[in-house]
Amino acid sequence: MAIGPGNKVTTTGMMDVRPETPQAPNLSALGKGKGQPQPSPQKVPVKPTAEPGSLREQFPDASETEIELAERYKTLTDEDKTTLEQILSPSVVTALGKMLPEFKPVMEQIGSQEPNIILPVSTVATYAKLSYGLDNDEEAIQTFITDVGSKMQQVAQSEQPMEQQPVPPSQPQGIMASPQNMEQV
């Protein structure tokens, strides 16, 4: 047992004791049974035909894996796609590309070019509770998100060019046309 985030007890196994790895079975006798082994029928790879407007037609050099990934991406909801776009920063695409190199070109197209800052929810909750004087994690996080969102909206509005207001025509010049004080000049 161990103490995890939020002072909660977690069961992680015995400390300083490695788990036992079972021995793999001896398979050396396979295939040495009675009679001659039956040859398995040869499968001839069939290249899928391209439907008009299909991904295969659009990307003739793409591998089957890339086409399958793109087809699956098309079935995601808009919310799922937005989440992926936000998460797939350049560093994440690079790391995942090392594990799944066949997916890297697709991830690069989907992902963002802006780096991410990743914070644990507990960190954001603690900060928000201290900043806003709240006790509830969910309420503090929601307040934090609302606050950040409103400030980003203010920034976006301030960056928009201000509309030009028409200047009223000049008034006739006279003593009272532009009073600076109560004295006559």
* Same domain for 109 and 127: no
Residue 147 has pLDDT above 90, yes or no: yes
Is residue 23, in this structure, part of any structural domain at all? no
pLDDT of residue 110: 84
Is residue 162, in this structure, part of any structural domain at all? no
The count of domains in the chain is 2
* Same domain for 110 and 66: yes
* Same domain for 97 and 63: yes
Distance CA 182, CA 172 (A): 19
Is residue 44, in this structure, part of any structural domain at all? no
pLDDT of residue 171: 56
Give the residues across from 9 on adjacent strands: 3
- Separation of first and last alpha carbons in the chain: 89
Tell me the residue range of the domain where 146 lies. Answer: 121-152
Residue 78 has pLDDT above 80, yes or no: yes
Contact 52, 63 (CB under 8 A): no
Is residue 92, in this structure, part of any structural domain at all? yes
Element spanning 84, H or E: helix 78-87
* Same domain for 146 and 126: yes
* Same domain for 100 and 126: no
Is residue 157, in this structure, part of any structural domain at all? no
- Sole residue written with tokens 């004080």: 181
Question: What would the DSSP string read from start to end of 89-147?
Answer: -HHHHHHHHHH-GGGHHHHHHHS-SS------HHHHHHHHHHHHT---HHHHHHHHHHH
- In 10 A of CB 17, how many CB atoms? 7
Contact 97, 104 (CB under 8 A): yes
Distance CA 70, CA 75 (A): 9
- Reduced to 3 states (helix: H, G, I; strand: E, B; else coil), residue 45 is coil
Residue 113 has pLDDT above 80, yes or no: yes
pLDDT of residue 86: 85
* Same domain for 60 and 87: yes
* Same domain for 127 and 110: no
Residue 44 has pLDDT above 70, yes or no: no
Is residue 146, in this structure, part of any structural domain at all? yes
Is residue 67, in this structure, part of any structural domain at all? yes
